[in-house]
Structure 1
Amino acid sequence: MYSSEDLERFYFQYQTEAMPKGISIEQFCSRNKVPYNIFYKWYKDTRNKIVEVKVDGLPTSAQEEPKQECPSQEPSSTVTKPSGVRILVELRMTNGLHISQKNLSYQELKRLIEKLEGLC
Structure 2
Amino acid sequence: MYSYNDFERLFLRYKLEGIPAGVSIEKFCMSNQVPYNLFSKWYKDTRKKIIPVQVLGSPSTEAEVPESPSSIREVKPESDPRLSCHTELRILVDIRMSNGV
Q: Give the TM-score normalised by the residue count of structure 2.
A: 0.49
Bigger strand fraction? 1
| Higher Cα radius of gyration | 2
Bigger helix fraction? 1
Q: Give the TM-score normalised by the residue count of structure 1.
A: 0.42
